[in-house]
Structure 1
Amino acid sequence: MLISIFLSWFLVGLFVRISKQRGWGQRVRRDGPQTHLSKEGTPTAGGVGFVVALLLVWVLLYARDPDPKEVVVVLAALAMGVIGLIDDVLKIRSRMFGGKSELMAREKFPLQILVGAVFGYFAWRLAPALPPGLGPWFDIPLYTIVMAGAVNAFNFTDGLDGLLSGVAIIVLLPLIALQASPLAALMVGALLGFLWFNAHPAKVFMGDMGSHAIGALTAGAYVLNDAGNLTWLLPLVAVIPVTALLSVVIQVVYFRRTGGKRFFRMTPIQHHFELSGWPETQVTLRFWLVTAVTTTLAWYLLGARP
């Protein structure tokens, strides 16, 4: 974990320097909070640095005698991260040279489902069976939805300085305490190194590669770990990402049903609170606190089960 922290810190810092030299900056939405306009041009895709750090440390320490469950989680996180990286590259090129600005949902979602389905198959083979024990026809689709849903939910949680990193660290901490998932420890370390540059005011943004990899690794770590199948805890510990995802769905459905009206001022929901008058740092801190409470509750419920 310590190696992961310092390697992530070094690689993200190096990425920031190269990004500034090459002008790989973020485009900021003009209809969003006005305080974000000053972030125009901030280096993005910083997730590349901490994902590479995590992979290097995992290969160094565990690749010689890998746990099959960890291999599945690493490959799922890497595959989802590559999908996010394509999105990041398109955004950077669009800002610099014009052209296509991002992957469309109809392009991105099938790829996520494909990766989720492959993960679902191996998770069904490796994870302890979930009640009610309906077999692969229930478990594989469930794990597919969990993986794709987590990737999108964590992606929507990004957007404020330090928000997603802090939420993910809190969600993964119990797995470290149980020594149930080395990958969870490496990701927490990598995110701590990244937070050095992503804390408000951020010198670098995470980008889609980072958020996709975090979502995939978190889902995988809760499904495949040495403490047992903890899939049922995910909606509670990840209540902020789940809420962010639901806010987007509600906004889109309401917009279409009402002919252009909005249910929230802006989605994902963290921007609704910003436009309601909460400072960015306050939204981030309060979302961290909510995550800490729900994660504590989830693990209390786990310990209280007969």
Structure 2
Amino acid sequence: MTVVAALLSWFLVGLFIRLSKARGWGQPIRADGPQTHLKKEGTPTAGGVAFVLALALVFFPLYLTGNAGGPRELLLMLTALAMGVIGGIDDWLKIVSRMRGRGKKELLAREKFPLQFLVGLGFALFAAPLAAHEVLPSLGRVPDVILLTLVMVGAVNAFNFTDGLDGLLAGVAIIVLLPLLALSPVSALMVAVLLGFLWFNAHPARVFMGDMGSHAIGAVAAGAYVLYADVWLLPLAAIIPVVAVLSVVLQVASFRLRGKRIFKMSPIQHHFEMVGWPETHVTTRFWVVTAVATALVWWILGGRP
């Protein structure tokens, strides 16, 4: 069914691109960012809507017929969809604001974080007794719930900050999920739908992912590592998202405390662009770093598929 998922994603993303162009759902580009991005103005955005839809359309028939695992997989899928909806609201507000030239531009952090924490807490309450502990033992029910909530919310935002370059987040996510393909149908299906999306998102991108896609990806990555590997291995495999979110935190903290920026632009992938790395070099090198880190995770897990 992974082949079906990939083909369905490819079809729906292509359809979404045509619909977006007809409706004018284009992405605005920051004038103070890398100048090479200015030519991307108007590229269809929120393509994650299409591949998340493909993921759901393949998963639920499989689950209802008993071919997509048990409670862990349902929990993982529902969490991904819930986080995806939060990101989707953000995408919708951005699109409507750009088209109408007015109205609310996006979800503010103080609006988004409570929703993310609510979904993360719901995941943690059900996941705590099901979580895998390959590296370190459980901390106890309450500490586990707190930890897993923070991990879920942190991962969703870290993967969201990793977006912004053609093919970057899709490629990183595919590599991060590779060790779990044989363990989690949702992970395998996510890799499949991302392959369908990457067909159009590879440089030069014909569509951008948007927040619905990045939120769903972060939820699947966090949930799959919690349930099938070990929560402590996620920061290693997802080293690029971790560095991306840390670069934003450090940039904001430095500017507020010192009035100076550490990076030319954050997240860090844009810093490398600003110092002269071609976009394709940044993307490829970040994929390589992710592959090395994920290979180490695979080794820690004993070389399991």
Matched, 1:187 2:190: yes
What amino acid is aligned across from residue 120 of structure 2 in structure 1?
G
CA distance in 2, matches of 1:59, 1:132: 33
The residue number in structure 1 matching 2:95 is 92
Deviation at 1:132? 4.1
Q: How does 1:1-306 map to 2 (within 5 A)?
A: 1-65=2-66, 66-97=69-100, 98-128=102-132, 131-176=136-181, 179-225=182-228, 229-259=229-259, 261-303=260-302
- How far apart are 1:8 and its partner, in Å? 0.1
Q: What TM-score do you get using the length of structure 2 for normalisation?
A: 0.95
CA deviations on 1:217-258 (whole Å, 9 max, x unpaired) are 111111113xxx421110000000000000000000000001
Supply the distance in 1 between the matched residues of 2:94 and 2:286 (Cα, whole angstroms).
27
Are the counterparts in 1 of residues 225 and 234 from structure 2 also a CA contact under 8 Å?
A: yes
**Deviation digits for residues 72-94 of structure 1 (CA, Å, limit 9, x no counterpart):** 11110000000000000111111
How far is the alpha carbon of 1:161 from its aligned partner?
Answer: 0.2
Displacement of 1:33 after TM fit? 0.1
Conserved 8 A contact 1:247-1:269: yes
What is the deviation of 1:44?
0.3
Give yes or no for contact 1:70–1:224 (8 Å, CA) kept in 2: no
> Once the two structures are superposed, what CA deviation does each residue of 1:271-297 show, in whole Å capped at 9, x if it has no partner?
000001000000000000000001011
Separation of aligned partners in 2, 1:132 and 1:217: 22
Judged with a 3 Å threshold, the aligned counterparts in structure 2 of structure 1 residues 129 and 167 are, in CA distance, closer, same or farther, namely closer
CA distance in 2, matches of 1:133, 1:230: 10
Q: How far is the alpha carbon of 1:134 from its aligned partner?
A: 3.0
CA deviations on 1:25-67 (whole Å, 9 max, x unpaired) are 0011111000000111100000011000011111122223351
Structure 2: which 5+ residue stretches go unaligned?
Answer: none
What are the Cα deviations for residues 73-120 of structure 1, in whole angstroms up to 9, with x where unaligned?
Answer: 111000000000000011111111122111111110111011000000
Distance in 1 (CA, whole Å) between partners of 2:79 and 2:297 is 25
Cα distance, 1:163–1:230 mapped onto 2, change above 3 Å = same
2:234 and 2:97 mapped to 1: Cα distance? Answer: 35
Q: Is the 8 A contact 1:83 1:209 kept in 2?
A: yes
Deviation at 1:128, TM superposition (A): 3.8
Q: Secondary structure at the match of 2:94?
A: helix
Indicate if the aligned counterparts of 2:132 and 2:230 stay in contact, CA closer than 8 A. no
- Give runs of ≥4 in structure 1 deviating > 6 Å: none
**Contact persistence 1:152–1:215 (CA under 8 A):** yes
1:187-216 Cα deviation digits (max 9, x unpaired)? 010000001110100000000000000000
Offset at 1:126? 1.9
Deviation at 1:174, TM superposition (A): 1.3
Percentage identity across paired residues of the two chains: 68
Deviation at 1:299, TM superposition (A): 1.7
2:243 and 2:174 mapped to 1: Cα distance?
18
Query: Which residue identity does 1:108 align to in structure 2?
Result: K
> Normalization by structure 1: what TM-score?
0.95
Q: CA deviation at 1:125?
A: 2.5
1:301, distance to aligned residue in structure 2 (A): 2.3
Distance 1:293 1:142, change over 3 A: same
Q: Give SS of 1:126's match.
A: coil
| RMSD (Å), alpha carbons | 1.2
**Counterpart Cα distance in 2 of 1:134 and 1:40:** 48
Q: Aligned partners of 1:134, 1:113: CA distance in 2, in Å?
A: 20
